[in-house]
Each structure stands twice: as C-alpha cells, then as structure tokens.
Amino acid sequence: MPTEFDTFEIQGPVLFVSNRHRDPRGIFAETFRADEFRDAIGDVDLVQENQSISHPINTVRGLHYQAEPHAQGKLMRVVQGAVLDVAVDIRPHSPTFGRHIKIELSAENWYQLWIPPGFAHGFKTLRPDTHVIYKVSDYYSPSHDHGVAWNDPDLGIDWELYGQQAVLSDKDRQQPRFCEVTPLFAGGAIPADVSRQHGQFAAR
C-alpha cells in the first residue's frame, strides 16, 4: 500500500504513492492495504472494483457521480497508459463548490487518487489502450448514476485537448450543464430523486 500521501487545496481528495520495491526482475508494490487506507481516510469500506479500458487517446469518461444515498468515493489508479484525472467538488455547502482538482495518474507514476463522495469525476486518456482500475465505496446504482457536461464552461476545466476531439459515449455527449443540476444540490446532499428527461433534470 502507498506509504506516502498528499492532500490538495480542495479538502477531501488524497494522493497516494505506492512504495515500490525494485530488483533486476522488475517492481513489487503493495497497492492497497485496508489498515493504511483507514489511517489516511477513515472508516470507509471499498466494496466494488472496476476496470475500464479506453483504446483511443483523448477518450473522456465523465463527469459522473452517484446521488445519495449511493454516493461513491473512488480510489483511482492507472495500470497501463495514463490519464488526466479530474474531480469537481459538488458538495453543496463546500467553500470550494464547483472547483476542481486535476492530476496525471499513470502506470509510470503509480499514483492513486482518493476522491471522496461528493465529487463529480472524469478522466481523459493521455495514451492509447489505457487501463484504469478503481475501487468504490458503494455499489453501482444505475438509478443514482448521474453526470455533468465534461466541457461545461462554468467549470473551467482545461482538458488539454489542444484542438483535438474528445472521444465520448453518447451518454456523455448529452450530460446536463452544471447550472442545470446545481439547484438540486442547494438543499443539501445531492438528491436521489432526480430524473433526466431529454437531457434536463427535473425533480420528480
């Protein structure tokens, strides 16, 4: 498990760096230990692990979050290739509401990024055939799975595309603007009872 960790100016996310043991065969690292994770993050159970493989460079997945009561914390790492990982603070009462962190996670740097519940998350691949593996603190719940437009100008995220096209899912091409969903956050935790009609959010 990582032996060092660092925090960001936005309270919540934590960067872990695995302690690597090198020898002529290669590298060994403990990439996760529940005791060290608990010491750094607190009493959080990681109940599901996901893997996504993105073939094209400039694949953008996000920005996604699960609504309460199934909001997910995510422990992200890249085992092949590299991503620009982005987490947007959508905690209604946070002083950094709407602001984001951005960091490169790669098979080379062995970084792991903990993103607590209350963030919309996404990444852009920096290499072809990038493999991302991540543990989450609640199970996938399709009815609580929501998104925000990755390129919403109000969020001001520089995805460093330099004029190239992002490769997106149909779902991510039509995510709502941040301003469309923020009124739903204003009342506190992200409501679970929103439904998306034609790309718009309307409380049921």
Ligand X SMILES: Cc1cn([C@H]2C[C@H](O)[C@@H](COP(=O)(O)OP(=O)(O)O[C@H]3O[C@H](C)C(=O)[C@H](O)[C@H]3O)O2)c(=O)[nH]c1=O
CB of 122: closest distance to ligand X in angstroms? Answer: 5
Displacement of CA 25 from its chain's centroid (Å): 33
For residue 190, count CB atoms less than 10 angstroms from its CB and return exposed for 0-12, middle for 13-18, buried for 19 or more. Answer: buried
Which of 14, 18, 58, 61 binds ligand X (CB under 6 A)? It is 61
- Written as six digits, the tokens of 25 are 């065969």
Closer residue to ligand X (CB): 31 or 52:
52
Which of 79, 140, 160, 161 binds ligand X (CB under 6 A)? It is 140
53 binds ligand X, rule: CB under 6 A: no
As a whole number of angstroms, the distance between CA 190 and CA 150 comes to: 18
CA-nearest of 84, 70, 52, 199 to 141 is 70
Q: Candidates 24-32, 58-66, 150-158, 174-182: pick the segment binding ligand X (CB under 6 A).
A: 58-66
CB of 74: closest distance to ligand X in angstroms? Answer: 6
Which of 111, 123, 159, 178 binds ligand X (CB under 6 A)? It is 123
| Interface mask toward ligand X for 101-120; x: CB under 6 A | --------------------
Closer residue to ligand X (CB): 18 or 66:
66
Catalytic residue list: 64, 134
Closer residue to ligand X (CB): 19 or 80:
80
Task: Give all strands (DSSP E) within the chain, no chain letters.
Answer: 4-7, 14-17, 20-23, 26-29, 48-54, 60-66, 74-80, 82-89, 100-106, 111-115, 119-125, 130-136, 145-147, 194-197, 200-203
Phi, psi of 127 (to 5 degrees): -140, 155
Residue nearest to ligand X (CB): 140
Which of 19, 52, 94, 151 binds ligand X (CB under 6 A)? It is 52
